[in-house]
A and B are shown apart, each in its own frame.
Chain A
Amino acid sequence: MTRYLLRQITLLFFTLLALSLFTFCLSYWFAGSAVTNSSGIFPDDPSYATIATARGFDGGYFGQYIAYLRHLFAGDWGRSLLDGAPVFEQLIVRFGASLEIMLLALLVAWFPGVAFGVLAALKPGRSVDNTILGMSISGYSIPVFWFAQLAILLVAVQWGLTPIAGQINPLFDIPAVTGSILIDIALAQPANPQAAYYSAFMHMILPVTVLAIMPMMLLIRLTRNSMLDVLNKNYIVSSYAKGMSTRRVLWSHALPNAMQQVIRQLSNLISLLIANTFILEVIFSWPGIGNWLVRSIYERDYPVIQGGLLIIGSLILVTHVLLNLFHAWRYPQVRKDLYAAP
């Protein structure tokens, strides 16, 4: 395991390095001064010369790259070209908001996704299976923005059940510290926390549910297929032969083994989730990173684009590696395969 851990961490280190090298190069590939593109300070600003020196622009490319990394680690990610706001501060708050709905959607998707998948696998080819599979395929093929519009028009506008924009009724004065509204409410300790949580919850229902649909449908199919594989294995037959109840066979043998395949696929699912989160943030005015990044691309706000790319790239890489590690730690046979041991 240690060897695998080291290997994964080295891999992560080098990919992150490559990613930072890429974002560093973007400063040169974008139009305009590289100093402005990386720091957000315009050439007519009095502090321009100092900034250029601090970023190593009087030296070679290598020195500049080192200075770039140093600034990254110091939390100085430059300033937005549009409003001069520090990118890093904005990034933290917006990242928190995005992460919040992403994690909640994953949580919402996980349990029904696995449950329906198992249910379908237990009766392959029967009407339960067909219904679930049909639902999952149609659910998977409907684009998320369409779902979102439908949900807004039906649930919010027609039935008047939920709000459609933002994280909370803005009349609650909750300062954005982490960006995650639930944590921010806990930190702000308003006079009526119950009402604030309720408002935040109502604001979350639509984006989280819509966001959860696609991963849920994918999980159903993944679980079903992997479960079908496992159920045909000899050890399942032998468990039944030993007289174990169906429930025990499922819980102790089939499901844990089926999950091995599912977890392996999970990182693809998360990349998909991130892309969908960005779309939904725009539709539901969720003040997350996607909403911001989309606009910065329109506006050619280079420091923001760089920061956004870096943090999203890192998020995907880190979750990928963490899932790999979890996979190897949880399933010894995976490690055996990896080390090509007998």
Chain B
Amino acid sequence: MATTKRSLIKTCTAALCLPVLIACAPQSEQEATLGVLYCAEGNPESFNPQLVTSGTTLDMTAAQLYDRLIEYSHKENNYQPALAERWSIDEHGLRYTFYLRDDVQFHTTDWFQPSRPLNANDVVFSFRRWFDPSHPFHSVSGRGYPFFTASGITELIDSMKALDEHTVEIRLKQQDSSFLANLASDFAIILSAEYGHQLLAAGTPELIDQRPIGTGPFQFSDFRKDVLVRYHRHPNYWRELAASEQIVFRITQSDHKRMLMLLTQDCDISPYPPARDVEWLRQKESIELQATVSPNTAFWAFNTERPPFDDPRVRQALAHAIDRDALLRAVYFEHAVRADSILPNTSWAHHPIPDAYRFDPERARELLAEADLADGFSMDIWAIPVQRGYNPNARLMAERMQSDLARIGVRANIVSYEWSTFRRRLAEGLHDSVLIGWSADHADPDNFFRPLLSCRAKESGNNRAQWCDPLFDDLLNAAIRTELMPTRQNFYQQAQEYLAIEVPLLPIAHSVRFQASQADIEGLQLAPFGGIELRRVKHRDTQELRP
């Protein structure tokens, strides 16, 4: 029987033998190609998290391809060693010394074979790339380093050097209570200096971000735009090896499609299921739904450089025009709470000011009249084209807001582009206003202020409001110059009160992030901070490859 089948296949052409193939479909054959399918919501912008702030890209790259010096454990609420097995800080908080592990191997691929394990040069190389403009890779890829620039650490670092092969010292210009938190964030990854030199010699430095080499649990294999990103297990990983041989990110923009693909087992894991279907998915036995109260804020940022949004009264008017409680029902299906501050309600520095953002069309009309805009005006609302933890459906939200705004005489057009284009044009400041948000990279409240609303954030293109106010920057800087909690809390409270007056953005919601997976997937955990980690993820049972 088997031989007749085989001879049949040999004689048939590919198309003709298809019916035969159904008849002899592999049932329990152990396949060489086992792995996990993760349905991602967009294309990665780059394969280097240093260059981006988008959660989509971070999920697909940071914890998969790379490692950081230290990591933050939200369970134990402290910093854990990673590539650095220990570290020390001098008493002034200005000199940080990191002692590296000596057993960390880089990926070995067709395009790069490392000759040595990780050492201090790699760490200096990776950090200098973003803080030192004379570094040969500093301007490669031409995107800038939005997270580092916006959070101010590029200016903060005074010097950095390798003390010996496995010791690195960083000196800061002044004390910064969020420095370790930033080093533990997904952005502070370690690249291979050897790979960098090899690419420089070959004259193709840009490949460092396109064909990445890191130390992470997976190594890059293949990227087809709009179709997939493929990683294989890194066989020499310094920690426990990745549980799955292969991780494939299938790029599927539509949340509805992703949910269907989960049901038909075309996906094993799908982030951001449609909010309206969350309850229904919860009932399904074949699907496991995870939720995390990740500290995030969806907001509506006004481009304060463009008239009429340069007038705080107009911004206040627009803030009063929006019925945010209705948005919570229509867009989040109540899986979110109303945001009355940019800082999420889980943060210790949270200071809500509901009155500043209350729904009051009357007051909105008065404010517009004061600003000589009683007849209204027309504006664009840019709505992010992807689902994010903070906003499951920005388009729908924009449509709702359109009708709210019509009531005060403001005509709103909704604008949307493909995600990477959207972010690029946004960074160029081509928008009137944008519906976007921010998810915490670490637990420090600074993460919601400096990367989003400081003058440096504006330079780096991450300040969606294009808002730069020296007074506000002073408050933020004062808050990070001290370790004393009550003092910091006081400064952040003032900062939030200032925002309530200036309204460069309208906070809308802090939402629950959902993620759905097949019931037999294990090792999957949604962390409140940063990107997803897939190294422990696998199918529970010996997997049969589905067609």
A194 part of interface (Cβ distance < 8 Å): yes
Shortest CB–CB separation between residue A318 and chain B, in angstroms? 22
| Set of chain A residues within 8 Å of B18, measured between Cβ atoms | 197, 201
CB-based contact B35/A201 at 8 Å: no
CB-based contact A165/B266 at 8 Å: yes
| Set of chain B residues within 8 Å of A291, measured between Cβ atoms | 226
How many angstroms between the C-alpha atoms of A197 and B24 in the bound complex?
A: 11
Shortest CB–CB separation between residue B230 and chain A, in angstroms? 7
CB-based contact A163/B266 at 8 Å: yes
CB-based contact A198/B33 at 8 Å: no
A330 part of interface (Cβ distance < 8 Å): no
CB-based contact B418/A157 at 8 Å: no
Shortest CB–CB separation between residue B225 and chain A, in angstroms? 6
CB-based contact A157/B14 at 8 Å: no
B21 part of interface (Cβ distance < 8 Å): yes
A104 part of interface (Cβ distance < 8 Å): yes
Query: In the complex, which residue of chain A has the Cβ closest to the Cβ of B250?
Result: A170
How many angstroms between the C-alpha atoms of A295 and B546 in the bound complex?
A: 30
CB-based contact A171/B37 at 8 Å: yes
- The residue from B14, B29, B420 contacting A185, defined by CB atoms under 8 A apart: B14
Of A53-61, A123-131, A175-183, the one with at least 4 CB within 8 A of chain B? A175-183
| Set of chain A residues within 8 Å of B35, measured between Cβ atoms | 171
CB-based contact B421/A164 at 8 Å: no
Q: A156-B260, A157-B264, A186-B14 are in contact. Are A170 and B226 (CB under 8 A)?
A: no
How many angstroms between the C-alpha atoms of A176 and B224 in the bound complex?
A: 9
CB-based contact B547/A170 at 8 Å: no
- The residue from A82, A83, A169, A175 contacting B547, defined by CB atoms under 8 A apart: A169
B523 part of interface (Cβ distance < 8 Å): no
Q: Could you say which of B26, B264, B421, B547 has the most chain A C-beta atoms within 10 Å of its C-beta?
A: B547
| Set of chain B residues within 8 Å of A191, measured between Cβ atoms | 32
Interface size of B as a range? 35 or more
CB-based contact A173/B227 at 8 Å: no
Shortest CB–CB separation between residue B329 and chain A, in angstroms? 27
How many angstroms between the C-alpha atoms of A295 and B33 in the bound complex?
A: 31
Shortest CB–CB separation between residue B371 and chain A, in angstroms? 33
CB-based contact A199/B32 at 8 Å: no
| Set of chain A residues within 8 Å of B224, measured between Cβ atoms | 176, 287
CB-based contact B14/A183 at 8 Å: yes
* CB interface residues, B 12-61, toward A, < 8 Å: 14-15, 17-18, 21-22, 24-26, 29, 31-35, 37
| Set of chain B residues within 8 Å of A164, measured between Cβ atoms | 260-261, 264, 266
| Set of chain A residues within 8 Å of B547, measured between Cβ atoms | 162-163, 169, 195, 198-199, 201-203
CB-based contact B222/A152 at 8 Å: no
CB-based contact B546/A169 at 8 Å: yes
B417 part of interface (Cβ distance < 8 Å): yes
Shortest CB–CB separation between residue A31 and chain B, in angstroms? 14
* CB interface residues, B 501-534, toward A, < 8 Å: none
A110 part of interface (Cβ distance < 8 Å): no
| Set of chain A residues within 8 Å of B33, measured between Cβ atoms | 171-173, 190, 192
A319 part of interface (Cβ distance < 8 Å): no
CB-based contact A170/B230 at 8 Å: yes
| Set of chain B residues within 8 Å of A104, measured between Cβ atoms | 15
CB-based contact A157/B21 at 8 Å: no
- Chain A window 123-154, contacts with chain B (Cβ cutoff 8 Å), 1 for yes, 0 for no: 00000000000000000000000000000100
| Set of chain A residues within 8 Å of B420, measured between Cβ atoms | 82-83
Query: In the complex, which residue of chain B has the Cβ closest to the Cβ of A153?
Result: B260
Shortest CB–CB separation between residue B385 and chain A, in angstroms? 9
CB-based contact A201/B21 at 8 Å: yes
CB-based contact A165/B226 at 8 Å: no
A246 part of interface (Cβ distance < 8 Å): no
Interface size on A, residues (CB 8 A): 42
Q: A171-B37, A171-B545, A299-B421 are in contact. Are A197 and B261 (CB under 8 A)?
A: no
Query: In the complex, which residue of chain B has the Cβ closest to the Cβ of A44?
Result: B142
CB-based contact A192/B31 at 8 Å: yes
- The residue from A85, A152, A198 contacting B225, defined by CB atoms under 8 A apart: A85
* CB interface residues, A 230-270, toward B, < 8 Å: none
- Chain A window 65-87, contacts with chain B (Cβ cutoff 8 Å), 1 for yes, 0 for no: 00000000000000000110100
CB-based contact B14/A83 at 8 Å: no
- The residue from B25, B252, B417 contacting A165, defined by CB atoms under 8 A apart: B252
How many angstroms between the C-alpha atoms of A169 and B222 in the bound complex?
A: 15
How many angstroms between the C-alpha atoms of A170 and B227 in the bound complex?
A: 9
A10 part of interface (Cβ distance < 8 Å): no
B108 part of interface (Cβ distance < 8 Å): no
Query: In the complex, which residue of chain A has the Cβ closest to the Cβ of B249?
Result: A170
How many angstroms between the C-alpha atoms of A156 and B17 in the bound complex?
A: 23
Shortest CB–CB separation between residue B157 and chain A, in angstroms? 29
A298 part of interface (Cβ distance < 8 Å): yes
Q: Could you say which of A171, A173, A182, A191 has the most chain B C-beta atoms within 10 Å of its C-beta?
A: A171
B257 part of interface (Cβ distance < 8 Å): yes
* CB interface residues, A 265-283, toward B, < 8 Å: none
Q: Could you say which of A82, A176, A182 has the most chain B C-beta atoms within 10 Å of its C-beta?
A: A82
A166 part of interface (Cβ distance < 8 Å): yes
Query: In the complex, which residue of chain B has the Cβ closest to the Cβ of A291?
Result: B226
| Set of chain B residues within 8 Å of A152, measured between Cβ atoms | 260
CB-based contact B264/A82 at 8 Å: no
- Chain B window 217-260, contacts with chain A (Cβ cutoff 8 Å), 1 for yes, 0 for no: 00001101111101000000000000000101010100001001
How many angstroms between the C-alpha atoms of A84 and B227 in the bound complex?
A: 17
Enumerate 30 A-B pairs (CB-CB under 8 Å) in ascending A order. Answer: A152-B260, A157-B260, A160-B264, A162-B264, A162-B547, A163-B264, A163-B266, A163-B547, A164-B264, A164-B266, A165-B250, A166-B250, A166-B266, A171-B31, A171-B33, A171-B37, A171-B246, A172-B33, A173-B222, A173-B246, A182-B15, A191-B32, A192-B33, A195-B29, A198-B21, A198-B25, A201-B21, A202-B547, A292-B226, A298-B417
Rank and list the top 5 A-B pairs by shortest CB-CB distance, nearest first. Answer: A202-B547, A199-B547, A170-B248, A182-B14, A171-B33
Chain B interface (Cβ within 8 Å of chain A)? Answer: 9, 14-15, 17-18, 21-22, 24-26, 29, 31-35, 37, 221-222, 224-228, 230, 246, 248, 250, 252, 257, 260-261, 263-266, 417-418, 420-421, 545-547
Could you list 20 further interchain pairs (A-B, Cβ under 8 angstroms) beyond the known A165-B261, A192-B29?
A: A82-B420, A152-B260, A157-B260, A165-B257, A169-B37, A169-B547, A171-B37, A173-B230, A175-B222, A176-B224, A182-B15, A186-B14, A191-B32, A194-B21, A194-B26, A195-B29, A197-B17, A198-B22, A198-B26, A295-B226
